[in-house]
Amino acid sequence: MARIAVIGAGMGAMAAAARLAVAGHRVVVYERGRTHGGGVGLFERDGFRFDTGPGLLRLPAVYRDLFVKTGKETLEQTVRLTQVDPAVRHLFADGTDVALPNASRAGVLQALDGAFGAGAGERWSDLVNRAREVWDATRRPLLEEPLHTDWRGLGSDPYPAAVPARRGWFGGLFARGGRSRVPTLAEVARRELADPRAAALLESHALAHGLDPRTAPASATVLPYVEQTFGTWYVGGGMRALADALYERCGKRKVEFCFEAEVTGIVEKDGRAAGIELADGTVTEADAVVAGIDPALLPALLGGQEPWREGEDVTPEPGPGGGPPGRLTVFLALRGGRPDDAVHRTVVHAPDREAELTAVFGAEGDGDLREPCPRPTVTVLRPDDPAIRPDDDHEAVTLSAVVAPHGPVDWTDGEAAARGADRLITAAEAAIPGLRDRILWREVRTPCDIAADTGVAGGSVPGPALAGAEGRYLRPANLTRLPGLYLAGGWSHPGGGLAHAGMSGALVAGLIVEGQDWRGSQ
């Protein structure tokens, strides 16, 4: 039985801890905060409950596998998991209103034809078919296996865009010196979808994950493919209920948790990680250390040593104006019940996409403070869940938008945060008429709040790893250059998101249990 020290109690860290405990190891989790879950937090007030992190789950099979492998109760026996249908409603500045069904290719095609005109659904379907090739090519090396030492192979974009000119798809736009190149996601959107609303729909998938479609590789088309193919799910009581269930599963497997226990150093002995040191001076020996935190924080714990492998980058591809973006979130306690025809998730699109992307990601030479976009893309979540509201005469609504991290925008400025919240509410009125008149109170969370919760500089939120762009959208491997030290969580392979965090935990557990030559579950 090995002694495993886990730094942080986020979802990836807890996923690793539960699996390692089942394998017979003694696992102790050290969390600097007062609770578990990392970015999957909870805000409660006056009988209202709001998720401070993601509000929906994709690829639930990751957590189904986790719960099957770590106990008798399945995921569905532990939490109430339901499909969201329609999956999403999209509202555009010109008044176009389209609701897309959950996990129905034919239904999406029909909806897009009805909203954008004949042929729009077929063009979208063709794009999703090409995205499936991305999924098939990258699913195992990018999601189900530890990042290989020859990871640079994932720097090639598998999106099938290098089409001979005689087929006439791109009219030579992507030809350079007689050779074809794979386009960015924004170029794919313009050339393959034609309609600017359909292009905005595609780009919104990237933006929601903190990616700039102007620079993101075409492989980002896999994001709508995953949502459309495997569906969108809601956990009863909010996504925090999933974090609570995983914490309880860890407890049943005898994982120990030490809260308000800040790790200030990783002990090295004989050239390997051999324990951790806490802020109070306590030193605990361990046979392996799992770091479930932003890898950028690790050099300070290792006396300046960078533990990731040569050529890897701990910083996801930044915009020209700064690091990866964060989230501005507004929790709304509303008087009046939720209408029966309300849609769970609505995306209200910005009228000026370019202005929004510049406000979030910056422009070349943009190093100064800048104002947030006056009309951002806003996601409106309206769960039909009695557990998150005091009674049926009230409604809990969450608004969110992707914004620049703290730095390019001064999110410590209360007035700036209030202005940002007002912008989100103004946009959300397109989805909820009369919204302002129903507000009892609101709570605003900025990237600074995220930074305080997670320790990530700027309050950035990690996006998923992607193939292409010469590997700039990959994350540091779970296996480090320092023997005995492993990386788990959204800032490590295979990237951010609830499902990806769960995958990272499974990969770390496999490497520790099976050895560093383990190549993933067969």
pLDDT category of residue 521 using cuts at 50, 70 and 90? confident
Tell whether the model's pLDDT for residue 323 goes beyond 90: no
What does the pLDDT read at residue 445?
97
10 Å Cβ neighbour count for 340?
6
- For residue 489, the enclosing domain spans 3-40+55-79+238-316+464-514
Are both 428 and 368 inside the same structural domain?
yes
Three-state secondary structure along 188-253? HHHHHHCCHHHHHHHHHHHHHCCCCCCCCEHHHHHHHHHHHHHCCEEECCCCHHHHHHHHHHHHHC
> Is position 45 within any domain?
no
CATH of the domain at 26: 3.50.50.60
What was the pLDDT predicted at 168? 37
What is the band of 308 on the pLDDT scale with cuts at 50, 70, 90? confident
Indicate whether 360 belongs to any domain: yes
The reply to whether 284 falls in a domain is yes
User: In this structure, is residue 519 part of a structural domain?
Assistant: no
Who's near 415: CB < 8 A, 6+ residues apart?
Answer: none
Question: Does 333 share its domain with 433?
Answer: yes
pLDDT confidence of residue 205: 96
Residue 105 domain-assigned?
no
pLDDT of residue 453: 85
Identify whether residues 137 and 66 lie together within a single domain: no
pTM value > 0.75: yes
Show which of 223, 255, 279 is a domain's final residue.
Answer: 223
172 assigned to some structural domain: yes
Q: What local confidence, expressed as pLDDT, does residue 367 receive?
A: 53
Structure tokens at 490: 């959204």
Give the bridge partners for 168, in sequence order.
Answer: none
Number of domains in the chain: 3
Q: Which of 94-108, 337-351, 508-522 has the lowest mean pLDDT?
A: 508-522
pLDDT at 123: 97
Using one digit for the tens of pLDDT, what is the confidence trace for 464-474? 999 999 999 99
Indicate the average pLDDT of the chain.
91
Task: Flag whether pLDDT at 390 surpasses 90.
Answer: yes
- Is residue 304 predicted with pLDDT exceeding 60? yes
The answer as to whether 499 is a domain residue is: yes
Torsion of the alpha carbons at 448, 450, 451 and 455, rounded to the nearest 10: 170
Examine the domain organization and report whether 309 and 323 are in the same domain.
no
Q: Are residues 437 and 482 in the same domain?
A: no
Say whether pLDDT at 17 is over 80.
Answer: yes
The answer to which of 156-170, 246-260, 272-286, 386-400 has the lowest mean pLDDT is 156-170
Same domain, 125 and 163: yes
pLDDT tier, 244 (very low <50, low <70, confident <90, very high otherwise): very high
Does one domain contain both 311 and 362?
no
Q: Which residues pair with 399 in a beta bridge?
A: 330, 380
Q: Quick one: how far is CA 391 from the chain centroid?
A: 31
If asked whether residues 407 and 291 sit together in one domain, one would say no
What percent of the chain has a predicted confidence (pLDDT) above 90?
81
Average pLDDT of 371-382?
Answer: 92
Q: Are residues 337 and 372 in the same domain?
A: yes
Q: How far is CA 117 from the centre of its chain?
A: 32
Q: Is the dihedral of CA 295, 226, 207, 33 positive or negative?
A: negative
Q: Which residues, other chains included, contact 437 with Cβ-Cβ below 8 Å and sequence gap of 6+? A: none
Of 459, 475, 503, the residue that ends a domain is 459
pLDDT at 15 over 50: yes
Based on the fold, state whether residues 11 and 138 are members of the same structural domain: no
Q: Is the pLDDT of residue 364 over 50?
A: yes
Contact present, 100 and 107 (Cβ < 8 Å): yes
Do 330 and 455 fall into the same domain? yes
For CA atoms 90, 356, 195, 128, the dihedral sign is negative
* Residue 246 domain flag: yes
* Whether 135 and 21 share a structural domain: no
CA 171, 175, 178, 179 torsion-angle sign: negative
Q: How far apart are CA 397 and CA 434, in angstroms?
A: 14
Least confident span in 307-311, 352-356, 424-428, 480-484: 307-311
At 238, give phi and psi (nearest 5°): 95, 165
pLDDT at 371: 74
Q: With a cut of 80, say whether residue 512 has pLDDT above it.
A: yes
Q: What is the average pLDDT across 408-437?
A: 95
Mean pLDDT of the region 356-369: 75
**Quick one: pLDDT band at residue 519, thresholds 50, 70, 90?**
confident
Q: Rounded to whole angstroms, how far apart are CA atoms 165 and 62?
A: 41
The predicted structure's pLDDT at residue 385: 97
Which residue among 459, 475, 492 closes a domain?
459
